[in-house]
Structure formats: structure tokens, C-alpha cells
Structure 1
Amino acid sequence: MNARVSLTLASAVAICAGTLATVAATRVSNVQIDDWQMQGTATHAAWPLWQLRLTSAFGNATAREALADVLVSSLQIDEQREGVELYRQLALDGAPRAQATLGRLLLRGLPGVVPDYVESRRWLTLAASHDSRDAQAAYDLATLYRNGYGVARDAGLAIRWLEQAAQAGLPLAQFQLANEYRFGATLPHNDALALQWLTRAANAELPEANLALAMAYRNGELGLLRDENEYWAHVKESEHDLKHVSRQ
């Protein structure tokens, strides 16, 4: 009888401890998780990785995604593979950001993970078609169709996804769309639209866009009058953008 009571008491204590741990894990702030993620990615230290593993194990979804991100940035191939698998689980659970990230990882590959263009296209399409319409996923789909990665090249689909990414505010997509209107064979030549998208990308501090605008002012292109002051202003802005990128 005493043994049975002791066993019941021990079980109750274990259940309480597990419940408290679960509650504690789910109440960890996103700020703390971001801090562990930053430390883990920058230093690959054991402590932040352990914290993310523990918090993730007790059901914190934000910690799971942060853990996946740290793992895929690891120098160890087994951890990279673990991170990709964790992203796959999150993607299957319907997390749009995880779907987009998994699609991008499978498009580019990692030292320990070979590209899988078919699976990449599946996840990227889901992420780009979701209500959130992930801009980076749309841009990656444009890259996939433009280059024919695992699928027949399709310039029309590439432009469709590129336009979606540009409309969603992705500066690199805006810059490439500007070049399509300026130089591309898929869209009709249109200097006004090229200038519009190039200006949007430049305003978003994309160095290439500001440099392209500088040259347009110097040469009197895209319907612009030659203007040395504007040329130098955009050259300086592109240098500022590069410094900003290097500090990120």
C-alpha cells in the first residue's frame, strides 16, 4: 500500500513538474528567443542551442523555428540536416515562413543537403500563394522558372512571380523587374515603368538600384535629363547603402 501511494505521489510530482516546465517554456518571451537565436547563429555556442532545444521540446513554436534557423547555419553537417528536417516538420504544420525557408534551402542546397528542386517548388508555391504571399518565396520561384531548375524554363511564370515579389516590396525583385522593362526580352520595353521600379528599389536602399539611377542621370537614360548633381547624389547613396548592408 505504501509503495503504491509513493508511486502515485511520484507520478503526481512528475506530472506537475512537466506541466510547470511546459508553462514556463510557452511563456518565454520572443525577445529572449531572438537573443538565443542570435547567439546561437553567431557563436554556435552550446548554451543558447540547449535553451532553444529545451523550450522547443515543451511546445514553443517560435523556439522551434529559431532552433531550425540556428541548426541550418551550423558548420556541422548533421546539425544542418537536423535543421532542414525541423523546417520540414514546421512546413507540414502549415507555417508559411517555414515553408518559404525550406523551399529556399532546397533550392540552393547546403554542404550537407543537396538541392531538391521538385520539393523546393512545392513549398515555395505554397508560401507564395498563402494569404501572406511571401515575397522572397515568389522571388525564388521566379529564379526557379527563369533558370529551369527541375522544371522546363517558363519566362512567363518567371515574370509573374517576379512581379508579385516586386509588388510585395522586395527591392531586388523591383530592381530585376526594372531591368526586364529596360533590357529584357520577356516584357515590352518601357522606360517609364523601368524608372518607376528602379526608383522604388533605390528608395529601399538597394545599392545596385541607386548606382543604376546614377548612371541613368549621367547618360540621360530612362527619359531623364543629364544631371551631374543627381548622378553624384545617387553614387553617394549607393555607397551609403553598401555600408548599411555591411553592418547587417
Structure 2
Amino acid sequence: MTARFSLQPAAVAATIAVAVVIAAGTLATVAATRVATPVSNVQIDAWRMQGTATHAAWPVWRLRLAAAFGNAAAREALADVLVSSAQLHERREGVELYRQLALGSVPGARATLGHLLLRGLPGITPDYVESRRWLSESALHDPQAAYDLSTLYRNGYGVARDPRLAIRWLEQAAQAGVPLAQFQLANEYRFGTTLPHDDVLALQWLTRAASAELPEANLALAIAYRNGELGMARDEDAYWAHVKESEHDLKHVSRP
């Protein structure tokens, strides 16, 4: 004869109550641990790097837990990891989290969101209108945002093309040390499309971009030395030196 067991409603309620108490105790323990030993920014950066490099679940879980308990750095790191995820739903979650951070005036979040919406992500199309909103709010104090805003105005992405504004933001980004902006500004002076032709300024900005290890800048300098351009005499040794530099730069190139 098989014995059959069934829980009465009172027993079910008691079981649920016990589970709730255990869960509450667990959360209280985690919270107490966090207060006693707060997560360091070094640890958060480690989880960020592990999450973006390996896409493993455990660093993401740890960032989620720290963010849930109010750690602002963990929240921003979580957004960074999620937008690099291979999963579309996580990329969307990351963009939305950056949007919340931007609305909360978290430093850098507005510029990052503007950049993401300008470039788009796999499965997420660019939104130039919203991108311009966030970039416009960030460009005065964020060089990358200034460069991105220049890109919007130069190409007419979601707005009428405006070469004057494009150059204004491009110059600001170049002065602040953005290598791509320096290279682009060099080309503006070199070819005279928007700015007056000026080989001296073109060479100045091209050299600064090359010194920042931008591969295309070193390659452009190499060609200029080979052909005797930008007011320079032909120099075979300088040509090969910059070719080698461009090859070296390609091994370390990282684009935002």
C-alpha cells in the first residue's frame, strides 16, 4: 500500500513563511556584509573586465547584486558589460540602463549613450535624434562627445548638414587630444574642403595624431615623406620609419 501525503493549507502557509524568512535573512546577511566590507572600485573594474572579455555569468551576477544594493559604480559597470553582450536582450538592457544613468546625470553616461546611439549595436539601429540630444549636453566637457557631435553635423545624421558646426566641434575634440579628430582636422587643412588649405597646419595636426599612435596618421605621414608633400622633401628613411610605426600602431589600435 502506497502512502500518500498532502499538505494542508495551514502547512503550505507555514512553509512559505519559512521560505520568506530564510530569503529575508539571506538578503539581510548580504546587506550587512556589504556595509561591513563595501565592494571596492578595483573589484568592480575587475568584474567589468571579466564580464566584457569572457561574457561569463558570474561577474555579471556580482555586478547586478552590487548595483541592486545601491553601488553606483557597479551600475555603470553593469551597463558597460551588458552593451557588449552577445545576447540582444542584454544589449537592449544595457542601453536602457545607460539611459537611466544619463537621466540621473551620472558623469560620462550621457556621452556614452550618445556614442552608442550614434554608432548603433548589433540588432539595435542608431537613433541620431536622441544621440544628438545627449551629445549636445556632453560635448562642452567631453572630447569624445565633441568628436561624435562633429560627425553628426558633418554627415547630416538626423540633422541638416552644417560644416561650420562640424568644424567647431572637430577643433574642440582635436585640441582636447582625440587622435581621430586631429587626423580629420589635418585632412580639412590639407585638402581645403571646408577650411582654407594650409600645409603647415595640416602637418602639425597629422604629426600630433601620429604621435598618439593612430595608424592612418602614421601611414599618411609615410606617404607624404615618400611623395614630398606637405612642404617636406622626399625622405625614404622617414617613409619606412612611419610605415613601421603604422604597423606597430595596428597591433594596439582600439576604437571607441
For the criterion TM > 0.5, the same-fold answer is: yes
Matches within 5 A, 1:76-115: 76-115=87-126
The whole-number CA distance in structure 2 between the counterparts of 1:24 and 1:52 is 18
Q: Deviations over 1:163-210 (max 9, x none)?
A: 111011010110000000001411000000000000000000111111
Matched to 1:102, the amino acid is: L
Matched to 1:147, the amino acid is: N
Is 1:234 aligned with 2:233?
A: no
**Unpaired stretches in structure 1, ≥5 consecutive residues:** 1-9
Is 1:23 aligned with 2:23?
A: no
Residue identity over aligned pairs, in percent, reads 78
Matched to 1:95, the amino acid is: V
Matches within 5 A, 1:1-248: 17=29, 19-23=31-35, 27-129=38-140, 133-245=141-253
- Compared CA separation, residues 166 and 80, structure 1 to 2 (3 A): same
Whether contact under 8 Å (1:100, 1:124) holds in the other structure is yes
The whole-number CA distance in structure 2 between the counterparts of 1:239 and 1:108 is 26
Matched to 1:55, the amino acid is: A
Q: CA deviation at 1:109?
A: 1.6
Whether contact under 8 Å (1:96, 1:127) holds in the other structure is no
The whole-number CA distance in structure 1 between the counterparts of 2:222 and 2:63 is 46
Q: Which of 34-43 and 48-57 deviates more?
A: 34-43
Normalising by structure 2, report the TM-score: 0.85
Please state whether the residue corresponding to 1:94 is helix, strand or coil.
coil
Q: Over aligned residues, Cα RMSD in angstroms?
A: 2.1
Provide the aligned length of Structure 1 versus Structure 2. Answer: 233
Q: CA deviation at 1:111?
A: 2.9
Q: Deviations over 1:11-59 (max 9, x none)?
A: x97896465244257x212221111111111221110000000011111
Normalising by structure 1, report the TM-score: 0.88
Larger radius of gyration: 2
